[in-house]
Structure 1
Amino acid sequence: MIDYEKGDIVIIELKAGEIYDGILISKSAERISICSTVEYPSGKLFENICNFSIKEINTSRILSDKKDNGNNKVVNKINLNIQEYKHLTNLINSFKLIKQMDVRFYDAVQEIETAESIGIDAKGCQIGRFYKISYLIISVWNQVFVFDMVNLDQMAFNSGLQLIFENEFILKVCHNSQKLNDCLLHNYGVKMKNVFDVLLADFTLQERHKEKDPRHRSIEDLIIEYLNLPSCFVDKITDEEWTKRPLPITYQEMIATRCSFLLFLKNILQKKMNESLNKITDMFYCMATDTLNPTVEETILPKRLLQML
């Protein structure tokens, strides 16, 4: 089993809830020392070497592109490569806040409507139709947009967002789309189409793998399960608190976190859901390519492959 090595990128989650990453300088039974340290979700960079006592650390994980080889397995490895992780953390810290109907709003709509998949998170609608959205967060692959719906309200949907939400060619990625759809339909007259719900995708995989007690898991659970990242990356702020104006700085730092993870989770879940189909596809074309003189009968999908679906 391969342990952490000097120069590895390490993600440290403290018992107090803070998260840091940095380049490993040293690791002992008493402490971990890292440099080029960044705190999340604030993105604050520390120039000096940071030392963390083992007693104050809840978990530590390694970010590595090393490949597991036979019996050599990388310890507690993040399920993202270095490039993906850096892209994710940049998304969290570089969101655009839109408070009024100006050129920034229309530029955002134009960028969102050209995306194939978008992540959607809404603050303030976790009990459905009984409250309106406070902040609507939409992520494309390289940017997160935060719409202040207290200021924009219905005008945001009338000016482009409704067409995006109802566009059947744009995939909307959510966690628990039921509450969001209820709020959108009854408060804004918007019916979201072409939805990939990571909650339902995970539940389907649990059922497929015959889990003893399949359950609806929170986005924090999914981040741990599929990305092996600390759940403290995402906010645990209540709907009522998101209505505050002006929004506290600490809340602003957390606002884009959930939405930033959605497209990453979708990619992993889609891949897992397609594993059996991909396996059958490989076997199907090998029936022809591995045969010297394939006949029509040999290239027809046999019942034994259909049973794997």
Structure 2
Amino acid sequence: MALSAQWLEGALGKSVKLTLTCGVFQGVLQHVRPGCSLLLHTVKNLETGRSSPGVKMFFSQELVNVELLGEPDSEKGTAVQSEHTSAAEEKKGADIRTADGDPWSSPCVSLERQLRALNSLSLNSLPGKEEEEKVAYTVVDCFQQKFGPAVLHLKQQHVISVIGKGVNLCRHGKLSWLQIATKSRVFLFDIFFLGPQAFRNGLQMVLEDKNILKVVHDCRWISDCLFHQYGVLLVNVFDTQVADVLQFSVATGGFFPHRTCTLQECLMQHLKLPSEGNTLMKCKQQMDLDARENPDMWFLRPLPASLLQVLALKAMYLLLLHSSLMDKLMSDFTAVVHAYLNTSQNGSEDHLGTIKPTCTELPKELRQLADVQKLRREKAVKDYRINEDGLLIRPVIELNERNPQKDETH
């Protein structure tokens, strides 16, 4: 009997036995991508007896038989190879298995309990929800239809924001989602489904394009992951964590803070997002708490819509943060240029007449910056405590009583 999408949908959440061309496995069916792949958790290899508590992906073209377990009268589904021709073609360009032939997996702890907790987190159930806190996004989890147009759109941009989400995001961790926002679109690339081919098929070209500015918060971790796992050299980066520290130094007359700010703190400080009654903040706080109980939640498929919305919002806000920080970093420059214009346009007639055009003496408009910096330093000494290293002790922005001080931005 041919394997139907309706039959598979009815098997979701149930224990199934998969007979593949390469072995026999048992697990709980979690997600189905018709004609392409199945996602199971709590997987056991029935030939070796080895159990894996993680999430495993099985390609439908490898299926020989699918059987429901624990139901004597249940039907059996037999995968017909001819039904998966298009999926096989896609797999040739999108093989996301590791070198040893096993699908990518991610160890999960108490997956059923975590999934219930995540599904209970809803944007609509949170108080203080504002319509402008919702943003349209596109989940790119296959190479057909969505991937090509998404990459084409990104290649036409001058500025994009980039955020990676996964487990222990570095050269030794795993990347699950890549969030990229432009002025008009937000894309959530499902790297767990797409695999390394996502970068070879276009994302690498975008991330390595010197003409596209990539806005990232603390680029060390995502760049480490991209370079060592996917061979991607991230270039032309505007790091909002670095920009925040430099802006702090400008605002305090040359002092540096004793610590950096998390992305969440930067959004609150520079975009004036409130810590209370804000959908992004409330979801993010709950999300961080859930991630600490089960850091592999990012490998759940399908990911709850509420979490997808948070991923999209963060990418969008990061792009806005770039504009805000640029304005602040350029504020002294803008002020001096304005003073130049004001002097020439509104100054006395003989003001510039006494100055030779070839004179390179520092103008008074620029010399006044020294006085401004002195006043800023004096104010900073009054407003902040100074540690033994001469750094200003920057207070932690209180989000709420349950919010941890460190934001897991990666």
TM-score bracket for this pair, using the shorter chain length: 0.5 to 0.7
Matched, 1:157 2:199: yes
Task: Identify the match of residue 157 of structure 2 among 104, 115, 121.
Answer: 115
* Identity value in percent: 25
What are the equivalent positions in structure 2 for 1:1-309 lying under 5 Å apart?
44=124, 89-91=133-135, 94-124=136-166, 126-210=168-252, 213-231=257-275, 233-234=280-281, 235=284, 236-237=287-288, 238=291, 239-291=295-347, 292=349, 294-295=352-353, 297=355, 302-303=361-362, 304-307=364-367, 308=369
1:223 to partner: Cα distance: 1.7
1:190-240 Cα offsets, whole Å, 9 max, x none, are 111111111111111122233674421111111211122234615234352
SS of the equivalent of 2:238 reads strand
Give structure 2 stretches of 5+ with no counterpart: 1-120, 371-410
Q: For structure 1, which segment, 232-241 or 101-110, has the greater mean C-alpha deviation from structure 2 after superposition?
A: 232-241
The 1:42–1:170 alpha-carbon spacing in structure 2 relative to 1, beyond 3 Å, is farther
1:248 to partner: Cα distance: 3.1
SS of the equivalent of 2:246 reads helix
Equivalenced residues, count: 231
SS of the equivalent of 1:256 reads helix
Which amino acid counterpart does residue 184 of structure 2 have in structure 1? N
Higher radius of gyration, 1 or 2: 2
Relative to the length of structure 1, the TM-score reads: 0.66
1:242 to partner: Cα distance: 0.5
Distance 1:209 1:129 in 2: 36
CA contact (8 A) 1:134 1:149 kept: yes
Give structure 1 stretches of 5+ with no counterpart: 1-40, 47-51, 53-59, 62-84
Which amino acid counterpart does residue 187 of structure 1 have in structure 2? Q
SS of the equivalent of 2:199 reads helix
Distance 1:295 1:126 in 2: 64
CA contact (8 A) 1:223 1:230 kept: no
- Alignment RMSD: 2.9
1:136 to partner: Cα distance: 0.6
Residue aligning to 2:46: none
SS of the equivalent of 1:246 reads coil
